[in-house]
Amino acid sequence: MAKKILVKKQSGEPKKNALAQGARAAVSSDNSYEAKDIYVLKGLEPVRRRPGMYIGSTGTDGLHHLIWEIVDNSLDEAQNGYAKIIEVQLLPQNRVSVCDDGRGIPVDPHPQTKKSALETAACTLHAGGKFGGTSYKIAGGLHGVGLSVVNALSKWMRIDVYKRDGKWAGAWMQEYARGKPKAHVKKLGATDKQGTFIVFEPDPVIFSEIKFDIKHILDHLREQAYLVRGITIRFVDARDETKEPMRYTFYFEGGIVSYLKYLTEDETPVHKNLFFMAKDVSDMHIEVALRYIDDVQSLEVSFANNIKTGEGGMHLTGFRSAITRVLNDAAKEYNIFKNGNEFSTLTGDDVREGLVAIVHVKLHEPQFEGQTKAKLGNPEARSVVENAMNAGFKEFLERNPDDAKAILEKVALAAKARIAAKTAKDFVLRKSVLEGSSLPGKLSDCQTRKAEDAEIFIVEGQSAGGSAKEGRDRRFQAILPLRGKPLNVEKSRLDKILANEEIRSLIVALGTAIAQDFNLAKLRYHKIIIMADADVDGMHIRTLLLTLFFRYFQDMITQGYLYLAQPPLFRIQKGKEIRYVYSDKEEEKEKAIQEVLKLVKAEPQKQKVEIPEATDEIGETETGSEDISLYKGASVQRYKGLGEMNPAQLWETTMNPDTRVVKQVTIDDAVEADRLFNVLMGDDVLPRKKFIQSYATEVKQVDI
């Protein structure tokens, strides 16, 4: 059984959606293949058959994508100068409303469909004001399919349009059920409002679980408010009619400059003035903000037409090329290469160490790779951004010589560390070692050489490591015990990381190498399971290891290879009947006790297998840590550490794939994750203190 943290894995499409999109060919039983065998899906039926093609998935991400599509339409109105306020509400019955004060969707008859333009936009794929003409210079959304896709995937939807002026002035309304209009567009009467109001209810036939994540929504809306300077975005959670609604408002006059200050508010800046550039070139609007901070990590966030391009693209490539070139030119002017340094050029990694940057381009015809738009593909974006940055950043350095010197000192130090790290890698991680022919002695490897079948447990402590080695299934399970707490890589450069014996053993065991030499294809295990105690020290060790994986092995996380073991907290026993409890909730413990007592009383003849006591074969259990007490006729043992379990118990509770509970580590918001790792694991104490003070009340109990 697998539980997941940070974000739920996207669920697959339901079987009922397994038919092909648009048209599908079928071969009849008599082997004929004629025109009658071609099936054409009409209207919005392709969306309902293959929702994942339009919103990415039918899981949590796809559910929230419905909100983003409607909000994107309102943002298009805002960034083209027609709207100032957007309000999003969560309502009872799993309904969501989005309202703006823009121009309002047209309601007059469409020249092609002969139906109202409102019905055409809501019920026809690829119908919208973003394909041509001058209605929108800049647009996000799904190029006009967003509204119709939301309609198709909603059990019910209603659109109200308010127009104050012109021939079609008045309030208009139309309702829909699963993508089909329930009636014609209806005029409700005169109005003094202006804008569009949309409310929809996601279809439970499409989405197996309809549960909105408040934090996810707030983070997205806050980000959008940064990107559209001067827009006011309101959010209201009114789902519980018995309580006063929760209300939030976002407004940032500074745009991405405000965003940059937010991302670096808990960091120590390297230079005084932050860099900002806004420029219009060849029908493209470019905005870049950057600042160097006293850190070894970098953070580059890119957008195209308000859409986050998590995988970057041409605009980010152009930005990186420009900043590398400009700083190399500046280094020559300041004689950086002639000051006894061992390097003669700055690499892209050198100039990005400690860099926090936001790159946002707005263009008329964006070309995104993939339906969910993770990467911008417009070739012209690279050259336009690169040329603009070459001129803009060069001018900034010339105008601010003190900032230029501080930045160059920072990147020169990164270059020196790179040389030192290369020397360390050449010495420590020889090619033969990286290819797996000389594995660390402390590793108990598995027999299989198929990475997809293999799993490795990274175990806290020698005692627990010994039990894990004895209790494992050596055919596919490897054990790597760690001694003491791992190095905090958030505070260390690569040369120091490679000098740490425990991390070095882990890198060699995984087989992928690290940094520039990293190669995910060489990963030796497709399940990497961190197994630590459930106490404060164990949590700290997990956090240190998560920091290492996030900073240097992030691809292992995004590919779904990293897990956290969840050992039991309690052992309930009566006679020979035993139950393990993985939660500290009192009701869970009570349920397990009742199950044990019921089995002992009702079916004593079925008690066959005796599981050894927790102290058997351990020898290193702390005095008094077992805390065994009688409760309603059953003994209750509180486990404080993995070392309190013998090999058989550790296998049954934590390592057996048929009975264990593991949590899969995933990344929902890489930007927020980056910020939190900086706060929790960085050098600056004050932000960490503020974080602890803010969340201390949410911690019910801490075992020390």
The mean-pLDDT minimum among 27-31, 525-529, 626-630 falls in 27-31
pLDDT band at 644 (very low <50, low <70, confident <90, very high): confident
* pLDDT for the residue numbered 83: 94
- Residue, of 607 and 225, whose pLDDT is higher: 225
Q: Which residues contact 401 (CB under 8 A, 6 or more apart)?
A: none
Residue with tokens 């700083």: 327
Identify the active-site residue in 13, 386, 533, 674: 533
272 by Cβ neighbours in 10 Å (0-12 / 13-18 / 19+) ranks as exposed
Identify the active-site residue in 460, 495, 577, 626: 460
Is the pLDDT reported for residue 404 higher than 50? yes
Q: What is the CATH code for 256-426?
A: 3.30.230.10
Is the pLDDT reported for residue 294 higher than 80? yes
Identify the active-site residue in 175, 535, 595, 668: 535
Identify the active-site residue in 537, 595, 613, 617: 537
Q: Which residues contact 441 (CB under 8 A, 6 or more apart)?
A: none
- Residue, of 355 and 442, whose pLDDT is higher: 355
* pLDDT for the residue numbered 701: 52
pLDDT band at 534 (very low <50, low <70, confident <90, very high): confident
Q: How many CB atoms lie within 10 A of CB 393?
A: 22
pLDDT digits (tens, 9 = 90+) for 405-423: 999 999 999 898 888 877 7
* pLDDT for the residue numbered 620: 33
The mean-pLDDT minimum among 1-10, 229-238, 351-360, 432-441 falls in 1-10
* Catalytic residue status for 30: no
* Residues facing residue 355 across a β-bridge: 292
* Catalytic residue status for 203: no
Structural tokens at position 619: 């020898």
CB 183 within 8 A of CB 173: no
* Catalytic residue status for 533: yes
Task: Show me where the domains of the chain are located.
Answer: 52-250, 256-426, 431-567+665-698, 570-640
* pLDDT for the residue numbered 2: 40
Q: What is the rounded distance in angstroms from the CA atom of residue 624 to the CA atom of residue 640?
A: 10
Q: What is the CATH code for 52-250?
A: 3.30.565.10
Q: How many CB atoms lie within 10 A of CB 418?
A: 22
Q: Given CATH 3.40.50.300, say whether it is the number of domain 431-567+665-698.
A: no
280 by Cβ neighbours in 10 Å (0-12 / 13-18 / 19+) ranks as exposed
- Residue, of 45 and 238, whose pLDDT is higher: 238
pLDDT digits (tens, 9 = 90+) for 506-529: 998 999 988 878 899 999 999 999
Tell me which residue of 499, 495, 485 sits closest to 547, measured CA to CA.
485
Question: What is the pLDDT averaged over residues 459-481?
Answer: 91
* Catalytic residue status for 460: yes
Question: What is the pLDDT averaged over residues 82-91?
Answer: 96
* pLDDT for the residue numbered 5: 36
Alpha carbon 297 to its chain's center: 18
pLDDT digits (tens, 9 = 90+) for 166-209: 899 999 999 999 999 999 999 999 999 999 999 999 999 999 89
Is the pLDDT reported for residue 609 higher than 50? no
pLDDT band at 433 (very low <50, low <70, confident <90, very high): very low
The three-class DSSP label of residue 321 is: helix
Q: What is the rounded distance in angstroms from the CA atom of residue 526 to the CA atom of residue 528?
A: 6
Is the pLDDT reported for residue 25 higher than 90? no
Is the pLDDT reported for residue 582 higher than 60? yes
* pLDDT for the residue numbered 6: 42
* pLDDT for the residue numbered 403: 97
Residue with tokens 């052992």: 571
The mean-pLDDT minimum among 180-194, 458-472, 606-620 falls in 606-620
* pLDDT for the residue numbered 127: 56
Tell me which residue of 300, 394, 419 sits closest to 356, measured CA to CA.
300
Q: What is the rounded distance in angstroms from the CA atom of residue 458 to the CA atom of residue 481?
A: 6
CB 494 within 8 A of CB 415: no
Is the pLDDT reported for residue 626 higher than 50? no
Q: What is the rounded distance in angstroms from the CA atom of residue 505 to the CA atom of residue 526?
A: 18
pLDDT band at 258 (very low <50, low <70, confident <90, very high): very high
CB 205 within 8 A of CB 51: no
Most confident stretch, 38-42, 232-236, 301-305, 546-550: 232-236
Tell me which residue of 241, 230, 231, 233 sits closest to 68, measured CA to CA.
233
- Residue, of 537 and 544, whose pLDDT is higher: 544
Give the start-end residues of each E strand in 203-274: 232-237, 246-250
* pLDDT for the residue numbered 40: 45
Average pLDDT, the chain: 82
